[in-house]
Structure 1
Amino acid sequence: MHLGCDVTTAGSSEECLRVVSPEHKVVFMDVCTGLDGYELA
């Protein structure tokens, strides 16, 4: 089932910083290597 959303995944916090863009409306984070959630925000 497709809900009209596209998913982008990242294997680390540094990769997340490289792939995220203003088009991303929601970011779900679990435990990432490198930076913590406060540093990424």
Structure 2
Amino acid sequence: MGWLATIRHVPYDNAPMAELARSKGMRTWSDAIATGWVQRE
């Protein structure tokens, strides 16, 4: 027997967390939180 994965939808307002990251100078994190994408540097 192995792992069983379940996809769950969890409502989450990411805007406040993206703004918090931006206010702390963490633009890469802010963009990732806001868009769901991580840009390669």
Larger Rg: 2
| TM-score normalised by structure 2 residue count | 0.24
Which structure ranks higher in relative contact order (CA pairs < 8 Å, sequence separation ≥ 6)? Answer: 1
Q: State the TM-score, normalizing by the size of structure 1.
A: 0.24
